[in-house]
Amino acid sequence: MRLRVQYTAQLRTVVGRTEEEIEFPEGSNLAELLVHLASELRREAAPFLLTAGGELQPSLLVALNHGAVSSCNARAVLVNAGDVVTLLPPIAGG
Amino acid sequence: MLPLPELTADERSRYEWQLWVRGFGEEGQRRLKAATVFVSRIGGVGGTVAMQLAAAGVGRLILAHAGDLRLNDLNRQLLMTTDGIGKPRIESAVRRLRELNPYVLVDAIGENVSAANAERLVGSADVVVSAAPLFEERLEMNRQAVRRGVPLVDCAMYELEGRLLTVLPGRTPCLSCLYPEKPPHWKREFPVFGAVASTVGSLAAMEVIKLAAGLGDPPKGRLLNFDLRDLTFTTITVDRRTDCAVCGSR
Ligand SMILES: [Zn+2]
């Protein structure tokens, strides 16, 4: 299935693009998608998605179709064809 | 509750064009006059918040910001002027705000928010605004705002993007619901145009005016995320975390 991934803020700077369509197996959950992205994207992007221990980065804000999903729920949330996943690293520019 | 202060003829004249706003009027203006707003940092974002709130006639502003002005602050810190380089930012801010609106009381504190002063500063305001470039300060503001039950507007930017979250303690998610741990990758220096910082600052000021005057609806559980590179404004729904270390049990 195909779904859309959007990158914002510092992650966009590191990845070098605003969004992309990706192919991903049906029946996957959001956590699996984030782990997959961490391995596919440039190496500098991985720490925004995963901790050094390989856990989901708790401070990364992840939205599925414009609704935030906390990292502790990401394994329970399935992704579907046509979904939009937005990755929002924390920003504090003042 | 204390009775709302009256407006002078001069104030009626100064605020005439905003008194025409539906749902605001003289009562809204009197509520603004009665309000105290604390703004943490008065750089590109917070300086715009302070300027807009002073222009709109908030009765008392408490501003906190440490340090002296540098040349490379001036692309965005609109309360500062070139002749203030090397002098405390807070002095320049107070002077400019008094020039803009002498009716507004300005309490200037030449310190940044810390565990030592946050409770006192947040506790003396009706609404607080978080605009510091460090998560330590934002999370401390959030902690105290939730603890004291004071509405908080958190406004932040990076490059051409901005975010705005209004926290109504006990009713909406707090900043720690979004970021349960101090984000490890945020860098103190960030790419910024003044126009982006001012945009999110003006949006935050409007949320403060709405809260203080009882105008419109605050965004409950909606994080605004905007991107001026392609001019998209999106809101993301966010939920309270039952396990939030700050607001979870409230
Ligand atoms: Zn919370």
Report the candidate in B237, B64, B31 with the shortest Cα–Cα distance to residue B140: B64
User: Which ipTM value was assigned to this complex?
Assistant: 0.95
- Please tell me whether residue A40 adopts helix, strand or coil conformation: helix
Record: contact B133-A92, CB cut-off 8 A: yes
Record: contact A91-B134, CB cut-off 8 A: no
- CA A10 to CA B12: how far, in whole Å? 46
Q: Which residues in B lie closer than 8 A to residue A86 (C-beta atoms)? A: 225, 234, 236
Closest residue to A91, CB basis, from B44, B158, B182: B158
**Which pair of structure tokens corresponds to residue B204?**
């935050």
Tens-binned pLDDT, residue by residue, of chain B (250 aa): 679 999 999 999 999 999 999 999 999 999 999 999 999 999 999 999 999 999 999 999 999 999 999 999 999 999 999 999 999 999 999 999 999 999 999 999 999 999 999 999 999 999 999 999 999 999 999 999 999 999 999 999 999 999 999 999 999 999 999 999 999 989 989 999 999 999 999 999 999 999 999 999 999 999 999 999 999 999 999 999 999 999 997 6
Closest residue to A90, CB basis, from B186, B197, B241: B186
pLDDT at B98: 97
Record: contact A94-B223, CB cut-off 8 A: no
- CA A91 to CA A24: how far, in whole Å? 29
Q: Where are the domains of chain A?
A: 2-88
**Size of chain A in residues:** 94
CATH number for region B35-237: 3.40.50.720
Q: Where are the domains of chain B?
A: 35-237
Report the candidate in B134, B131, B132 with the shortest Cα–Cα distance to residue B207: B131
Q: How far is A92 from chain B (nearest CA, A)?
A: 5
Closest residue to A66, CB basis, from B192, B227, B234: B234
Architecture of domain A2-88: Roll (3.10)
pLDDT at B39: 98
pLDDT at B249: 74
- CA B176, B180, B182, B186 dihedral sign is negative
- pTM for the full model? 0.97
